[in-house]
Amino acid sequence: MSTYKMFFAGSGGQGVLLMGQMIAQAAMLEGKEATFLPSYGPEMRGGTANCTVVVSDKPIACPLIYEADIAVVMNLPSMDKFEPMVKPGGYMFYNESIIDRKANRSDIQAVAVDLAARAAALGNDKVANMVMLGEVVRRTGVVKPETICNEVFAEKFTGRKAALIPLNRQAFLGE
């Protein structure tokens, strides 16, 4: 596939925008075209947050999307909103730790990820979004896993945060 259209959605503080940005940055580093469009408004921690990412081999006409190849939903309101917008055959990754329903649709590939348990096993609940990002990248191939955990991590985690790279890599690679 030459173009991936993606939604990332959840509540503020779940690291939804960072996931989207990392995909866009990795795509750019791989020489692809990319756009990252966050929802913006009077939002705050605990409010809703979502972003749209388009990755393509050709110039991207429009950064706005109305249907997605991949939706990543971190809470129930996001799943309710974005599940209907996944293309038939597309992916929906959902945070089954806090979403107490299954996918309604059978024509999409729904992937449940128990983020709370996976992050707890790593001893840090803040890496839940990197666990999810790893699942998305490894299953869909939208970008290469090594671009994220080598180049993007090196650019994002600098200074004191550089010490967090091994933990985030572990979360991302599902080790």
Q: Which residues bind another protein (CB under 8 A)?
A: 21, 24-25, 28-31, 33-38, 40-42, 61-64, 66, 147, 151
| H-type alpha helices, the chain | 16-29, 76-82, 115-121, 128-140, 145-146, 153-156, 165-173
Contact 30, 152 (CB under 8 A): no
Least distance from C-beta 17 to another protein, angstroms?
10
Between 21 and 168, CB nearer to another protein: 21
Between 82 and 94, CB nearer to another protein: 82
Count of alpha carbons within 13 Å of 136, Cβ hemisphere only?
Answer: 31
Least distance from C-beta 15 to another protein, angstroms?
16
Least distance from C-beta 173 to another protein, angstroms?
19
